[in-house]
Amino acid sequence: MIERYTLPEMGALWSERNKFQKWLDVEIAVCEVHAEMGTIPREAVEEIKARASFTVERINEIEKTTDHDLIAFTTNLAESIGEAARFVHYGLTSSDVVDTANALLLRDACDILLKKIDALMEVLKRRAFEFKKTPQVGRTHGIHAEPTSFGLTFALWFDEMRRNRERLERARESVAVGKISGAVGAFAHLDPVVEERVCALLGLKAAPVSTQVIQRDTYAEYLCTLAVIASSLDKFALQVRHWQRTEVREAQERFKRGQKGSSAMPHKRNPILSERICGIARTIRANSIVGLENVALWHERDISHSSAERVVLPDSSIALDYILEKARSLIDGLVVYPERMLENLNATRGLVFSGQLLIALARKGAARETAYEWVQRNAMRVWDEGADFHTLIAKDTDINSLLTPEEIDSVFSLDTYLRNVDAIFARVFK
């Protein structure tokens, strides 16, 4: 991922140096278990632990000759360890190290992302309660529908992020799996106990069965989970972009002093952060397809997945980390205009209460189809002539033959639409 969209903690996790450090952690864990089982001398392990070192530059230099990064890595280790280096990588194949190290990286990436989700959920909860009783027009198909609570939007998003958190916890469990089973996963040169002990030492589960590699359905699950979470953030940001439209202007991104919206038009306040979140979400979704494509490998494995994973695993992790942080900042700093929401509620001159009027007529004995026709003919005049809905209803002889003026007035009330918000919040924030 480019530096522009890389935050420090996640960027450091996916650095080349940390990747090689995880490889070393796996190699040393294997040596430790071998020493416990008497396969290699304890003194050799202590020497390896004391002397093993590497540099990214030296590994890259060796790889120019070997065309194999794991061999370049072990060669660099041998340069620092000396004679005891013959016990490094003992009985292993490259993917034993790489895939087990990947499990460590993906597990740690999940932990960072889970913290970011928690921070976003805290902000969503706070803003939900802040605007719990703030009326706003609901929209279906982009058209004014019925009044709702602005706070319900944040409650809805909170509930969605809670589901996303559960998804990511499941993905974390799936990817936190190692394998130390040899060239085709048959334990030809290792006791299966080695795998169990190494994985336990590293805080991982051992794969029940593997080929030369951990099966890539687990990686696909991780990448698809990240794509789902990114799609939720895309949805949130898209809604903010709608609110910020000049014709709507019910809420907008915080516009700080010195910020510029356009190189040509000084008046512009553009939803650039929301648009950035939407754009990066597309990249994360696209990367999930790579994860799915990597599930099918030839026989015990080929290497077609490797090059793609070097891109999509860090990029998706880093990108989601970035937009989670930006989504938290966006919602936290969102500027809200309740007065504008009321203006928009009244923009259709009472039409948003048509459903409530329909129910009132049905309650009084009118057939639903008949009541619908009475309400709709007045509603169409509001659309076409710019008339006031309440005034037309009060003069409609069919309607006022069933409803008193007081009952008609009660139809045009926001109370009905906000009365059950507390009950909804009790269900969401239990």
Residues designated catalytic: 141, 262
Do residues 132 and 116 make contact, with C-beta atoms less than 8 angstroms apart? no
Number of alpha carbons in the 13 Å side-chain half-sphere of residue 169: 9
CA distance 427 to 421: 10
Q: Which two tokens stand for residue 188?
A: 């030809």
Q: Are strands 135-140 and 143-149 parallel, antiparallel or unpaired?
A: antiparallel
CA distance 99 to 180: 9
Q: Cα angle vertex 236, ends 250, 311, to 5°?
A: 145
* Residues 389, 391, 392, 393, CA torsion sign: positive
Nearest to 69 by CA among 84, 80, 54: 54
Do residues 316 and 113 make contact, with C-beta atoms less than 8 angstroms apart? no
Tell me which residue has tokens 């993917």: 95
Residue 418 CA, distance from chain mean position:
30
Give Cα separations from 178 to 152, 192, 257, 321 (angstroms): 43, 12, 50, 24
CA distance 131 to 126: 9
Do residues 237 and 330 make contact, with C-beta atoms less than 8 angstroms apart? yes
In our burial notation (b when 16+ CB lie closer than 10 A, e otherwise), range 130-154 reads ebbebbbbbeeeeebebbbbbbbbb
Do residues 18 and 317 make contact, with C-beta atoms less than 8 angstroms apart? no
